[in-house]
Amino acid sequence: MKPTDRPLILTAETEHLPIWVRVRDLILTVLLWLSCGKMWLELFPEIRSWNAAKASEELTYELPTILVLLKHGVLLIGGLLVTYFFWGLYTFRSVNRDLDLPVPPHLPPEEEARAYGIKPEEIPALRELASVTVLAGKDGQIVSWQPGFAPKQKE
């Protein structure tokens, strides 16, 4: 059984993870940041060339691929964000209106008993028990119950 006094946050130190695993993770992550950084830098020459072409009125120069894609997306994203923003304001208002709603009544035991296929008087008896063994059907209906723990026989 696991000790119950483990710290809440389980770190590499508390879990005694080998040092080489920690170093490997760190190196791979640094490499990934560096390679992403290198590829991001590739964006700039493309945009620079496009700007230069535009400045010299070389109109045949094609837009950078990323700008072509964004050209189609900007309207869609802008429209989506504006719609979402106003819908969000409407939701905040309706949620504030919900503050005035009355608290619904508790579930009556008779209705609960019906849902589980047992008699209403069985419910208080079952709820008095500190330990109970229940045989439930696959549909959730209670077939039988008995006080205490009845361990399953090993097959």
Residues 67-86 that bind another protein (CB under 8 A): 69-70, 72-73, 76-77, 80-81, 84-85
Three-class secondary structure of residue 145 per DSSP:
strand
Per CB under 8 A, the list member of 91, 110, 119, 120 interacting with another protein is: 91
- Cβ atoms of residues 134 and 145 within 8 Å: yes
| Residue 143 phi, psi dihedral angles, 5° rounding | -85, -50
Q: Which of 4, 19, 55, 60 binds another protein (CB under 8 A)?
A: 4
Q: Give the nearest distance from C-beta 57 to another protein in angstroms.
A: 25
Q: Does 130 help bind another protein (rule: CB under 8 A)?
A: yes
Do residues 6 and 14 make contact, with C-beta atoms less than 8 angstroms apart?
yes
Q: What is the closest distance, in whole angstroms, from the C-beta atom of residue 104 to another protein in the complex? A: 5
Q: Shortest gap between Cβ of 77 and another protein (angstroms)? A: 5
Asked if 131 contacts 148 with a C-beta cutoff of 8 angstroms, the reply is yes
Q: Does 57 bind another protein (CB under 8 A)?
A: no
| Binding positions for another protein, 6-25, rule CB under 8 A | 6, 8-12, 14-15, 17, 21, 25
Which of 70, 67, 59 shows the shortest CA–CA distance to 43? Answer: 67
What gap in Å lies between CA 74 and CA 90, rounded to an integer? 24
From 64, 32, 40, select the one nearest 51 (Cα to Cα): 64
Q: How far is the CB of 49 from another protein (least distance, A)?
A: 13
If binding is defined by CB under 8 A, does position 55 make contact with another protein? no
The verdict on 27 binding another protein (CB under 8 A) reads no
Give the three-class secondary structure for 146. Answer: strand
Of 60 and 131, nearer to another protein (C-beta) is 131
